[in-house]
Amino acid sequence: MDHFDYKNGRICAESVPLAHIAKAVGTPFYCYATATIERHYRVFSQALEGLDSTICYAVKANGNTAVIRTLARLGAGADVVSGGELKRALVAGVPHDKIVFSGVAKTREEMAAALDAGVMQINVESEAELAILNQVAVARGVQAPVAIRVNPDVDAGTHEKITTGRTEHKFGIEWTRVHQVYAEAAAMPGIRTSGVAVHIGSQITDLEPFRAAFIKVRDLVAMLRADGHAIGRIDLGGGLGIPYGEAGANGSVPTPEAYGKMVKEVVGDLGCHVLVEPGRVIVGNAGILVAKIVYIKEGSTRTFVIVDAAMNDLIRPTLYNAYHAIVPVAEPPADAAWKEVDVVGPVCETGDTFGSQRKLPPLEAGDLLAFRTAGAYGAVQASVYNSRSLVPEVLVRDGAFAVVRERIDTDDILARETFPDWMD
Ligand code: LLP
């Protein structure tokens, strides 16, 4: 249930017709439904009920401050991976002591910002990073609250570009080095190591890789405690997959309930505070991208439906071969003659294709199409390639909508570009 349904012949976001928003805001635009964001957060937190846990929403999935604030108001913490995301989380109202700072290459400046903000935890991913964090903390007269992100060498079975838990990946401390690194950390005056962190990838549609990784974490906690380290917190990362298919043909993904049950089974009796960092499962289905058809181009072998959104607005299809369901905003009549078309954007690359051979009803220029399940890794990965505008974002709640990020157009960007003196 995503709160983007046909009502009176047109898709509404909650009770706002998308066509109304298109008229007011122009196309393309992202639209998020508050009800879906809230529902997914609640379902996820219910799944963890009984466990001493904090949900640190992965800001990278959708960093819009109004989206983050929606979650913060429900009690969510945040997982951030840059100084920019840290700022966003704080501006959105996430309490500093519910923020986890992850990422493989935190700079001194980012570390300082995180320490000054008083974040709950900094996840360290290399010995080099640990040494620098120690220096930064000592210089400030504080101890950095650290979890070591370990690389469990588990294959998440997801797309090669978003799998992170194997030894050949850049993430985390290699399994064989873990004991050594905890020992080094314990000797550093600016480091207070209290946790173990793991994250094996994203869009994971099977619980077994999670289970395998979490069992390794559980065993590691026991060993580290035996070594004398006080481990009070584990961070299990994000990664739970969601269905991207057409309604009714979704393929199967584990439910948050099943995920929560497994987490409790594996780590429930460790006596640790458990952090989770879900992104996609919270916001993925809570957003859609709405575009307008510019032209229909009939070829000898294909019909191209050319829309005004492009790969710069939603890069997932071309970057990960991702499937996003494409639906007409106006409900087609029951007797419509559906046919296969290619839905493409205006960018000068063949990769600018949202869907090949998709069944759609008769369409014409000016009609609106919606790309579903675009709430996660959609707007955040948008660019201005081809000097297109940065796509605006709209948040709906019940019958109201608000532009929560304006369209940033070429004039805005040109205002930041200058000619060097020698061109005068
Ligand atoms: N925690 C860490 C340390 C992460 O690296 C990530 C995602 C998450 C949590 C959240 O994972 P989620 O629950 O959203 O799966 N752009 C790609 C996805 C990249 C994911 C990167 N890390 C896509 O569009 O599929």
Of the candidates 284, 303, 319, which is a domain's last residue?
284
Beta strands, E only, 210-302: 233-235, 273-276, 287-298
Q: Measured from the CB, is residue 385 less than 6 Å from ligand 1?
A: no
Residue 262 sits at φ, ψ, to 5 deg, of: -65, -45
CATH of the domain at 368: 2.40.37.10
Distance (Å) from CA 277 to ligand 1 centroid = 9
Q: Is 238 in the pocket of ligand 1 (CB under 6 A)?
A: yes
389 token code pair? 């505008």
Same domain flag for 270 and 325: no
pTM more than 0.95 = yes
Whether 398 and 364 map to the same domain: the answer is yes
- Helix or strand or coil: residue 174? strand
Q: Is the minimum distance from the CB of 284 to ligand 1 under 6 angstroms?
A: no
Per the structure block, which two tokens stand in for 297?
Answer: 């181009």
Q: Tell whether 85 and 233 lie within a shared domain.
A: yes
Q: Are residues 125 and 233 in the same domain?
A: yes
Q: Is 237 in the pocket of ligand 1 (CB under 6 A)?
A: yes
Determine the pLDDT at residue 246.
65
Q: Is any ligand 1 atom within 6 A of the Cβ of residue 268?
A: no
Report the CATH number at residue 207.
3.20.20.10
- Strand (E) or helix (H) holding 65: helix 65-72
Determine, yes or no, domain membership for 317: yes
Question: Could you tell me if 148 and 166 lie in one domain?
Answer: yes
123 lines ligand 1 (CB under 6 A): no
Cα 236 to middle of ligand 1, angstroms: 12
Judge if 18 and 123 occupy the same domain. Answer: no
Domain boundary among 284, 313, 334: 284
In a mutational test of the pocket of ligand 1, which residue from 161, 173, 202 has the highest number of ligand atoms less than 8 Å from its CB?
A: 202
pLDDT at 251: 66
Spatial CA neighbour of 44 closest among 373, 287, 276, 375: 276
**Same structural domain for residues 38 and 166?**
yes
Chosen domain end from 219, 253, 284: 284
User: Which stretches in the chain have pLDDT values below 50?
Assistant: 248-250
- Residue 403's SS3 state is strand
Q: Are 138 and 108 in contact (CB under 8 A)?
A: no
Domain-embedded: residue 104: yes
Domain assignment present for 227: yes
Q: What was the pLDDT predicted at 161? A: 81
Q: Which atom of ligand 1 is nearest to the CA of 164?
A: 5
Beta carbon of 239 within 6 Å of any ligand 1 atom? yes
Q: Residue 271: count other Cβ atoms within 10 Å of its Cβ.
A: 11
Q: What are phi and psi of 315, to 5 degrees?
A: -90, -5
The verdict on residue 420 lying in a domain is: no
Determine phi and psi for 96, rounding to 5 degrees: -55, -35
In the reported structure, the alpha carbon of residue 58 is separated from the centroid of ligand 1 by a whole-number distance in angstroms of 7
Domain that holds residue 194: 33-284
Whose alpha carbon is nearest atom 20 of ligand 1?
202
> Residue 419 domain-assigned?
no
200 Cα to the center of ligand 1, angstroms: 9
90: left (phi over 0), alpha (psi -120 to 50) or beta: alpha
pLDDT tens digits, 343-367: 999 999 999 999 999 999 999 999 9
3-state secondary structure of 141: coil
Closest CA to 194 of 147, 133, 157, 129: 147
CA of 296 to the centre of ligand 1 (A): 35
| 45 three-class SS | helix
Active site residues: 348
Cα separation, 168 vs 34, in Å, equals 39
Determine the pLDDT at residue 411.
98
235 lines ligand 1 (CB under 6 A): no
- Per-residue confidence (pLDDT) for residue 162, from 0 to 100: 79
Is residue 102 within 6 Å of ligand 1 at its C-beta? yes
Task: Note whether 297 and 344 are within 8 A (CB).
Answer: no
Q: What is the best residue among 41, 60, 274 to mutate for testing ligand 1's pocket, by most ligand atoms within 8 Å of CB?
A: 60
**Into how many domains does the chain fold?**
2
Same domain, 19 and 43: no
Could you tell me the distance, in angstroms and rounded to a whole number, from the CA of residue 201 to the centre of ligand 1?
7
Tell me what pLDDT residue 248 has: 42
Integer Cα distance of 119 and 136 in angstroms: 15
- For residues 392 and 271, membership in a common domain is answered with no
Does 57 lie in the same domain as 134? yes
